[in-house]
Every structure is written in structure tokens, then in C-alpha cells.
A = this chain, B = another copy of it.
Amino acid sequence: MSATAPALLRIGDVAKLVGTTPRTIRFYEEKGLLPPAEERAAGQHRVYGEADVERLREVLRLKEVLGLSLEDLKALVASEEERALLRSELHRSESRDERARILHRLRAVADQQLALVERRAAELDRLRGEIRERQARIDARLASLDGT
């Protein structure tokens, strides 16, 4: 049975895979941002699976790109959890009405997440635009220098 068992990872493996440190993973667990990673006796190694890696990767990416505090990140993790739950419900759903209800809820979650991203993106776009304008003005002055 061990041949078909899913790959079990230790905290150092997970940290390397997602580009962080064991300490950060323990810290997030301590703060309730990640689930306690399997049952285990005190002083025992934590054990993780592929799904945990994917989840953590997504969480860290959202934090980095959006610059969120752990408090804000907690809310986002909750919405990611709802998304996962809804997707599995969608698979098991049996009636058309139920599927429609779940899909509408999924759409609402996506809208909410997009709003967070759009705010940051707008600020960056503006900054990018300003620098490009500066470049254009410099180029124009250089061209007029060459032209005369």
C-alpha cells in the first residue's frame, strides 16, 4: 500500500517547493492561517501533501503580489476555502438549480478577489504610465537635439 500512498512531505520540503522557510509555515499555522497539518503527537514531525503545497503557494503569492497583512490574508484564505468547497459541491450537485446557485456564488467570490487585484493594478498602471511619459518626453528632447 505504501507504493500507492500519496507523497508525504516534511516542512522543509514544502518550504523549498513554495520558496519560503519552515519558520514561516509554523508561524502561519500558529496564527491560524493554515490548518494544523495532520494529526501528530507533540514533538512529532509535521506531514504535508500535494494539496497543502498548492494552497500555501497560492496564499504566499496573494500576500506578496497584493501586499496584504496577515489579518487581510486570513480573510482571503477563507474565500479560497469557500471556493474549494463550492467546487467540490458543484461536482456532487444533482439538480440544475443547485448548480446555478453554486455557480453564482463562485462568481461572487471571483468578483470580490478581482476587486482587490484591480485596486493594486490601477496604482501600478498609473505609475508605469508616468514613467513611460517621462521617457517619451526625454526621447522627444533628444530627437529635437539631433534634428536641429
**A residues in contact (CB < 8 Å) with B:** 61-62, 64-65, 67, 96, 99-100, 103-104, 106-107, 110-111, 113-114, 117-118, 120-121, 123-125, 127-128, 131-132, 134-135, 138-139, 141-142, 145
Contacts and interface: CB of A to CB of B under 8 A. Distances in A.
A131 B110 contact: yes
Contact of A103 (B61, B67, B113, B141): B141
Most chain B beta-carbon neighbours within 10 Å: one of A64, A106, A114, A127: A127
Contacts of A124: 65, 117, 120-121, 124
A11 B66 CA distance: 30
B131 A113 contact: yes
A70 to B, nearest CB: 15
A125 B99 CA distance: 30
Nearest to A129: B117
Contact of A142 (B104, B111, B132, B139): B104
B131 A117 contact: yes
Contacts of A110: 131, 134-135, 138
26 contacts: A61-B127, A62-B127, A64-B67, A64-B123, A65-B120, A65-B123, A65-B127, A67-B67, A96-B145, A99-B141, A100-B142, A103-B141, A103-B142, A110-B131, A110-B138, A111-B135, A114-B131, A114-B132, A114-B135, A117-B124, A117-B127, A117-B128, A117-B131, A121-B121, A121-B125, A121-B128
